[in-house]
A and B are shown apart, each in its own frame.
Chain A
Amino acid sequence: MRMHRLDCGATLGPEQCFGPNLFHRYFQVPACRSVFQTQSTEKTSEKTVTLSSPYRSEIQTSSAWWLLLPALSVLAFVGVLPLLTIFNYSFFDIFTLESRFWIGTEWYREILSSSRFFESLARSLVFSAIILSIQIPLGVFIALLLPRDGKTGMAFLMMLALPLMVPWNTVPSMWVSFLGNPAGFGGRFLAMFGVDFDYKFNALHTWILLVAMDTWHWIGLVVILCYSSLSTIPPAHYQAAAIDGASRLQVFRFVELPKMSAVLMMALLLRFMDSFMIYTEAFRVNAGGPKDATTFLSLDLGEEIAAFNYGPAAARSIIYFMIVLAIAWSFRTIMNIRRDQTLGARQR
């Protein structure tokens, strides 16, 4: 069966949607039809150009590459060059830049054979997993609750965005003084319920604090992203769902979630990378303690940098970069495979 394209983001099969009758009626909606029309026109015109004038098309392609040059050079300057420099440093023991001492892969071997590295890696992964499993559903949930109309929704969004503007250094200081007992309001509040919140010596409490702090700081981002994609869903989709008698859960599953998927992917990646490399908050709250319970990968890197050990720090950076890259890539691949599977299932 043919797929019906609702918009540029999500695709729906009719059976999975609201039932065949209403679905067909749905496509009588002029706005949606125009989408089809535009697409088919584009395709035809492309075809015409390619067939009638192959040379011209080649010229266009190569000139397009030239036009990319400024962007590519900026990218090379800010992205590739520093990475290459760091990659180069990671094979040296550096005391001054003039006197670098070649040591080959020693730093890599040392880091990858230390149990401390794997312990920190495990902590970082667990932390990111917790962060994602809390922040993504919570962000979606809050975005769904927000009113879609102009002013009220915007006011809520602005409120949620406020923590995003707080400098990273300030966040841990704020939370630590908030939870101080007897000086902090939060600390006194918890004490009233007999909770002795001891983030300095209780590992569980330190973790709770870090997760809460990170969620407070970044939930706004997830909400804004989700909200932005939700607000692009035309009311007609909801109307169609309502006419089909779809439950709230079905609306979410088949209208809203597909619409949000691209943006959620971005939120997931952004939040993964940031939480995986959390430094300032974890360092300022307990410097990796108690008893190394919050020593994440980035804290080990921070120590190397603070000691001006540029070689080992560079090697660590490269290793961490590869980890982030591998995980981000597998996220993407898994999502793509799933999408393809869904598509395939629907096409069958």
Chain B
Amino acid sequence: MRYLLLNTTACAALMLATGYAHADMAAAEKFLAEEIAGLSVLSEAEQKAEMEFFINAAKPFEGMEIKVVSETIGTHEYESKVLAPAFSAITGIKVTHDLIGEGDVVEKLQTQMQSGENIYDGYVNDSDLIGTHWRYQQVRNLTDWMAGEGKDVTNPGLDVADFIGTSFTTAPDGKLYQLPDQQFANLYWFRYDWFNDEKNKSDFKAKYGYDLGVPVNWSAYEDIAQFFTGRDMSHLGVEGKVYGNMDYGKKDPSLGWRYTDAWMSMAGMGDKGEPNGLPVDEWGIRVNDKSQPTGSCVDRGGATNDAAAVYAVTKAIDWLKSYSPPEAAGMTFGEAGPIPAQGNVAQQMFWYTAFTAATVEPGLPVMNEDGTPKWRMAPSPHGAYWEEGMKVGYQDAGSWTLMKSTPVDRAQAAWLYAQFVTSKTVDLKKSDVGLTFIRESTINSQHFTDRANKLGGLIEFYRSPARVQWSPTGTNVPDYPKLAQLWWQNIGDAMSGEKTPQEALDSLCADQEKVLERLERAGVQGELGPVMNEKHDLAYWNNYAKEHGSVAPRIKLANEKPAGETVSYDELINSWK
């Protein structure tokens, strides 16, 4: 409410102060009437006031042509095709919003970082790179920007506090480096209709001794996977073989994504802490008190190859082999994505909410005739090593990033566009199209209260306080592009059986340390760069962790399969309210 008041006051003040910009107001009014059409958290007068800010602030840049870039997902397609032309018409700044693959975005950004040549005036770059941006200091920190060079072009109605992802884009120095533009999380996905079927429930209880429900831990997930795999589901009209798990295992760059996203911390690798484990994060990289990375292997205090990591990879391989469709082992991320919607999969541990829009299409085998889904999403279960306070999942936060190598005036114009596509005027409409929420005000809007039952739990998740436990890669990772590249090859070796999980992870952590050592040797990150620890054995580091009140690296648990634990979905939803 406070924000709303502030915002209203700011907008009203703006309206009084700037009465001369009516030349472009026609385009703005047309946009508000035809495109937004009331689907906004702001009143009509507030929307107009916000538009007036953009018109006036853009005056010095009229006629300028700027280029921005983002990955190809629905939300950005909407921005590129609808919002960018509208912004150009309203402000006179010609925006070309390019859509390319996420890997290519990083490549362009990397090229600009390494060469200092301005390629794009603005980037929507995943906040996984926050550690990279903070350490290389090639990105404008927005806190200083908004108070300095960007002050005149910062929307008084921006309301940074309304963004739900700013903790991910803030570096250890307390400054905001990126502004979130779209977010999605990974959650547990399951067939609500199968789980609520009386026959399934009683059979499960008879076999495993506890209720069929949303698994709280990996033991329950495994039991449920085993229970459904090959089960005769004809009493629910399901044809063909049914599987208890869905995943992908082809050696391919996409194989690394899930592991660097959250899989290891879900198993319990790393330390406690939000948004990421400290001092050891979900990549197994340890940092010291000054946030300098100090190692990745167990012998340097890291956790990339500790018992929890081995457990995480071993389980993924076991489930892929025993409970997934046989083709899954040869699939990539893109090929595996649509499989659950085909109706023969009971649950999936790691499901990206970016698939929501594609999984609620009418006519799919997983949809009811009334347009409600037969599936639901819920928090992913956690592994045997996981403890309260650890990261439970991943949240991708594609965020506006302004490079220092971009000339100031171009950065200012790009900053105006960035604020336009994330403004309160357009955010509700944009979220309605792309379902990638970034603003508290949008999540809590009446519109999504009305739409919630069609979205399988997405709104309930975003409205719950638990959502902050889902986070992107954090600041322990000093060079995301170089380090992320190491994962798929090594995980792929484990998946194909070429190496045991332990061997693959030993090699992975050694590769990671090699990059850290190179950074240390070159000294390119200065005071923020890696300083490698001396080598000691596991017992030393485990004691060290205990003395300092942390847990990683871990010693192998005697029992990696504790009793299965489940919770009823409806109870879970109530606990979120």
Give A contacts to B, CB under 8 Å: 93-99, 101, 200-201, 286-292, 303, 306-310
Measured CA separation A303–B488 after assembly (Å): 11
The reply to whether A308 and B522 contact each other, CB–CB distance below 8 Å, is no
Tell me the bound Cα distance from A292 to B103 in angstroms.
23
Flag if B524 contacts A291 (CB, 8 Å): no
- Minimum CB–CB distance for A178 against chain B, Å: 16
Chain A CB within 8 A of B456 CB: no
Shortest Cβ distance from B115 into A: residue: A97
A97 to B138, CA, bound (A): 13
Q: With A and B bound together, what is the CA distance between A286 and B497 in angstroms?
A: 16
Q: Chain B: which residue is nearest A99 at the CB level?
A: B524
The answer to whether residues A291 and B519 also contact, given A95-B524, A97-B116 and a CB cut-off of 8 A, is no
A contact residues around B113 at 8 Å (CB): 96
Binds A, one of B54-62, B247-255, B376-384, B433-441: B247-255
Q: Indicate if the CB atoms of B522 and A101 lie closer than 8 Å.
A: yes
Known: A308-B114, A309-B482. A93 touches B251 (CB 8 A): no
Which of A97, A99, A200, A309 contacts B522, CB < 8 Å? A99
| B156 contacts partner chain A, Cβ-Cβ < 8 Å | no
A199–B496 Cα distance when bound, in Å, is 14
B481 nearest in chain A by CB position: A308
* A residues near B250, Cβ cutoff 8 Å: 200, 286-287, 289
Indicate whether B336 reaches chain A with its CB closer than 8 angstroms.
no
CB pair B485–A98 under 8 Å, yes or no, is: no
Q: Knowing A99-B522, A101-B522 touch, does A287 contact B486 (C-beta < 8 A)?
A: no
- Listed by A's residue number, 8 A-B pairs whose Cβ atoms lie within 8 Å are A96-B115, A96-B138, A97-B116, A99-B522, A200-B330, A289-B251, A307-B485, A308-B482
Look across to chain B and name the residue whose beta carbon is closest to the beta carbon of A288: B251
Q: Is the CB of B498 within 8 A of A96?
A: no
How many residues of B are in contact with the other chain, CB < 8 A? Answer: 31
In the assembly, what is the distance between CA of A303 and CA of B110, in Å? 15
Query: Which of chain A's residues have a CB closer than 8 A to the CB of B492?
Result: 287, 289
Q: Which residues of B are at the interface with A, using a C-beta cutoff of 8 A?
A: 103, 107, 110, 113-116, 136, 138, 250-253, 329-330, 479, 481-482, 485-486, 489, 492, 496-498, 518-519, 521-524
Q: Which of chain A's residues have a CB closer than 8 A to the CB of B479?
A: 95
Residue numbers in B under 8 Å from A94 (CB-CB): 114
Q: Residue on B with the closest CB to A310?
A: B114
- The reply to whether A95 and B114 contact each other, CB–CB distance below 8 Å, is yes
Determine if B252 and A98 form an interchain contact, defined as CB atoms under 8 angstroms apart.
no
Given A306-B485, A308-B481, residue A287 in contact with residue B252 (CB < 8 A): yes
Q: What's the nearest-Cβ distance from chain A to residue B527, in Å?
A: 15
For A307, the chain B residues whose CB sits under 8 A away are 481-482, 485-486
Alpha-carbon separation in the docked complex, A200 to B496 (Å): 11
**Bound state CA distance, A306 and B524, in angstroms?**
20
User: Which residues on the B side are within 8 Å of A290 (C-beta)?
Assistant: 251, 496
Expressed in whole angstroms, the Cα–Cα distance for A200 and B492 within the complex equals: 13
Closest to B114 in A: A96
Report the Cα distance A98→B305, complex, angstroms: 35
Residue of A nearest to B138 (CB): A96
Q: How far is it, in angstroms, between the C-alpha of A73 and the C-alpha of B481 when the chains are bound? A: 37
Contact: A287 with B251, CB < 8 Å? yes
A292 in contact with B498 given A93-B518, A95-B519, A306-B485 (CB within 8 Å):
yes
Q: Which residue of chain A has the shortest Cβ distance to B499 in the bound complex?
A: A291
Instruction: Give Cα A298 to B482, complex, Å.
Output: 18
Would you give the shortest CB distance from A336 to chain B, in whole angstroms? 43
Chain B: minimal CB distance from A292 (Å) = 7
5 closest A-B pairs (Cβ-Cβ)? A307-B485, A101-B522, A200-B330, A95-B524, A289-B251
Which residues of chain A come closer than 8 Å to B110, judged between CB atoms? 308
Contact A286 B116 (CB under 8 A): no
B485 near A97: Cβ-Cβ < 8 Å: no
Q: How far is the CA of A93 from the CA of B524 in the complex (A)?
A: 10
Contacts of A310 in B (CB 8 A): 114
Docked pose: A306 CA to B484 CA in angstroms: 10
Q: Are B330 and A93 in contact (CB under 8 A)?
A: no
Residue among B116, B253, B521 making CB contact with A93, cutoff 8 Å: B521
Partner of B524, one of A96, A287, A289, A309: A96
In the assembled complex, the Cα of A54 lies from the Cα of B471 at a distance in Å of: 82
